[in-house]
Structure 1
Amino acid sequence: MSDHLPLVFSVTSGKGGVGKTNLSVNMACTLADQGKNVVLLDADLGLANVDVVLGLAPKYNLFHLFHEGASLDKILMETPYGFRILPAASGVSDMVTLSTGQKLELLEAMDVLEDDLDYLIVDTGAGINDNVLYFNIAAQERLLVLTPEPTSLTDAYALIKVLKVHHGVERFRVLINMVRDERAAKEVYLKLSNACDHFLSGVSLDLVGFVPMDPAVRKAVVEQRPFIQSAPNGPAGVALRKAVQRINKWKAASNVDGNIKFFWKKLLFQERSVA
């Protein structure tokens, strides 16, 4: 084992439909373009769609790890964009909540990644269900994605509240998506920040950036490819690269207290606190 420690961060949201998975894919692509070794874990285990966003059809996924004994090397899938994905299953009800035994299996399987990985990006589901809480509690950093919609704001606050009040999570990074411009993004951020200041003492929010409305994003989604590749110099592409520049500084700025094995062990031992 080397002394190299990868950074594990979740990309999460209180509400679905905010573009969380698309942003996860494009962040992974941007980091890979910078020479980083990146794995994107689809942690929306029962409703997985990272592969769909990328136009890929994995032969194996986490279902095969848990039910057929497949190795992680067999499940990990290379993408055309320089990073790997760890796909989950879609429409499989018994993947919605992992058992303690399944968490342990995943812990042991992830050992093969540690030595050369720079980033493990965990694309969680939306809301406050058990799996969303599990992955957010265990990650070293949490990147909360929201849009200007009032429901996105209230649901983001609800997720922060549950993680703070019940699990002691206090630090959150924030990325505003599908917004008109930087000024509008800051208005959304201030609303969330003010609500936390008034009702959730001790919560720290950091605005990582924003991604503006851009027709190239919708076009890329339809074409099932990252917009950072199809329109790198468009408004969304430029803004996303700025956000990733900040993400690149997290490792130096953070008190990193673990690696991938630590991440999964922490995940494993949350069983009682989330239940």
Structure 2
Amino acid sequence: MARTALPLVFSVTSGKGGVGKTNISVNLACTLTRMGKRVVILDADLGLANVDVILGLAPKLNLFHLFNEGMTLKDILFDTPYGFRILPAASGVSDMVNLTTGQKLDLLESMDYLEGDIDHLIVDTGAGINDNVLYFNIAAQERLVVLTTEPTSLTDAYALIKVLKLNHGVDRFRVLVNMAKDERTAKEIFIKLYKACDHFLSGVSLDMVGFIPTDPLVRKAVINQTPFAVASPDCPASVAIAKAAEKINTWKVTAKADGNIKFFWKKLLFQEQSVA
């Protein structure tokens, strides 16, 4: 019997590419699934899909077919060998870079299929501050900002937070530091981001979810197109991702008037209409 609890929709996002954002999404999905959660990843990097690539999978259908060839969400929802499902995006399709309002409405209606059948929807956004990245972050209940200890990663993460705060009123962010030498180094970069936001962006709330240490087994798993949480479940990175997943499981789901997963898309469409 399907559970009726409202799903948690959270984005995994970054201001800069190359910080391991999609790898974090995939390994969180593996870990949350192992904890008994029903998980779907939406590959929201719509024109440059890579969730399937990092998993070594080749779905025949993706969101392009939903929008252009009359397929349903059920048709394109792809079961992975790891227990979670993905909504694959297209790769190298320029028409997918910015969804139209009509396409968002099509996706909204399609989401009925997931109603009551999901605990977590992980939205793996693109990097940067383009329209799709902003829209998906605006719509999510929680935003997990991934950054590394590199200075450019810090400045770009701040830029993303700044745009979401000043232009769209988003004021709560979760932070995960990836590829950190140790906990002290991770906390130092988080404090720098915290101080910048505290000084220049009044009212922004930052919460450090944790850090993923630099681990050679992560790179090995990426090369082998296997989640490191599966390939090496006891390695330092896997232990750290499990701690982050435990924190995510404590996040409270924000109740919405319609009481189902459609709130995600309705909020996204409302934001688009208000900007227009």
Give TM-score scaled by structure 2 length. Answer: 0.96
| Corresponding residue SS for 1:48 | coil
Q: How many angstroms does 1:69 deviate by?
A: 0.8
Distance 1:223 1:138 in 2: 33
Distance 2:239 2:39 in 1: 20
Distance 2:260 2:208 in 1: 25
Distance 1:193 1:167 in 2: 19
| Corresponding residue SS for 2:122 | strand
Q: How many angstroms does 1:80 deviate by?
A: 0.4
Q: How does 1:54-65 map to 2 (within 5 A)?
A: 54-65=55-66
Q: How many angstroms does 1:256 deviate by?
A: 3.8
Give the counterpart letter for 2:208 in structure 1. L
Distance 1:61 1:79 in 2: 14
In structure 2, the gaps of 5 or more residues are: none
Deviations 1:112-171 (A, max 9, x none): 101121000000000000000000000000000000000000000000000000100000
Give the counterpart letter for 2:31 in structure 1. T
In structure 1, the gaps of 5 or more residues are: none
Q: How does 1:107-146 map to 2 (within 5 A)?
A: 107-146=108-147
How many correspondences in the alignment? 273
Partner of 1:48: 49
Q: How many angstroms does 1:2 deviate by?
A: 6.7
Instruction: Give aligned-pair identity as a percent.
Output: 75
CA contact (8 A) 1:177 1:210 kept: yes
Q: How does 1:68-147 map to 2 (within 5 A)?
A: 68-147=69-148
Distance 1:274 1:214, change over 3 A: farther
Q: How many angstroms does 1:243 deviate by?
A: 0.7
Distance 1:274 1:138 in 2: 14
Partner of 2:156: 155
Deviations 1:8-27 (A, max 9, x none): 00000000000000000000
Distance 1:170 1:205 in 2: 8
Distance 1:10 1:248 in 2: 14
1:241 maps to 2:242 = yes
Partner of 2:5: 4
Distance 1:263 1:126 in 2: 20
Give the counterpart letter for 1:67 in structure 2. N
Give the counterpart letter for 1:116 in structure 2. D
Give the counterpart letter for 2:121 in structure 1. L
Partner of 2:180: 179
Q: How many angstroms does 1:70 deviate by?
A: 0.2
| Corresponding residue SS for 2:37 | coil
RMSD: 1.2
Partner of 1:37: 38
| Corresponding residue SS for 2:22 | helix
Distance 2:11 2:58 in 1: 23
Distance 1:274 1:19 in 2: 31
| Corresponding residue SS for 2:116 | helix
| Corresponding residue SS for 1:70 | coil
Distance 2:129 2:260 in 1: 25
Partner of 1:202: 203
Distance 1:268 1:29, change over 3 A: same
Deviations 1:50-93 (A, max 9, x none): 00000000000000000001011110000000000000000000
Give TM-score scaled by structure 1 length. Answer: 0.97
Distance 1:5 1:183, change over 3 A: same
Give the counterpart letter for 1:216 in structure 2. L
CA contact (8 A) 1:11 1:24 kept: yes
